[in-house]
Structures are given as structure tokens and as C-alpha cells.
Amino acid sequence: MGTDVRELTLPEKFDVFLEELTALTHKYGIEIDGCGCCNSPYLGIVRPEQNDHHYSVQEGFGLLRLRSVEDIEEWKENERERAALERAEIAARKAKERQDEADYLATDRKRVKRLLST
């Protein structure tokens, strides 16, 4: 009949929970939302243009919002781009650290050669 949630992984549980919360929201026309500055939860009325909206959670912040599918996809794309940029920045920082270490070792070798030649 239903899914045994005990057999689901945590991410799967979140997905099922959000699907069921979305169905409950549309059934009663009441959404759970949160303040933009402090994320204090409150109940609101679902507007007709929100009938195709689904809940999503903004990772890293835990913000629960009723959003359109387009908004969710746009947010996911932005998150992918942000993650790619973060990975590129980390790679660049590591490359600079390796280059700095190589430069230091090269300078150190020159210093040792100078000391040995005198």
C-alpha cells in the first residue's frame, strides 16, 4: 500500500515527507511558510497560482518554501553553479599552495647550494 519509511534513506525520507506535505497543503489550501529574516514559521493561504507548487528545502539553510517547479529547477541550477565555482576556487587555492611550496623549496635549495659553495 504505502512506502515503509523505515526502509528509506534520510534523503528519501525528506523527499517523501515533502511530497506528502505538498499534497496536504493543496488538500487544505494552507501552506507553511517562514519569515524572510528569521525563518519563524507561519501558516498562509495557498493562492490559486500556487496550485502546481511543491515544497523544497534550500540545502545549507534548511529553508522550507512552497515553490513552483521552475523556481526549484532554477534554484538547483544556481546551487550546481555555486558548487562548481566553489570547487574551482578550492582547486585554484590548492594549486597556488603547491606552487608556493615549490617556490619555497626551490629558494631553499638555492640557499643551501650557496652555503655549500662558500
Instruction: Encode pLDDT of 65-96 as tens digits.
Output: 777 777 777 877 888 888 899 999 999 999 99
C-alpha distances out from residue 73 to 37, 38, 68, 78, Å: 23, 25, 9, 9
The set of cell numbers assigned to 23 is 499534497
The set of cell numbers assigned to 99 is 606552487
Provide the whole-model pTM: 0.51
Q: Give residue for cell 507561519.
A: 42
By the 8 A CB rule, do 61 and 67 touch?
no
Instruction: Encode pLDDT of 45-59 as tens digits.
Output: 888 888 788 887 766
Q: Dihedral of the CA atoms 79, 36, 54, 50 (nearest 10)?
A: -130
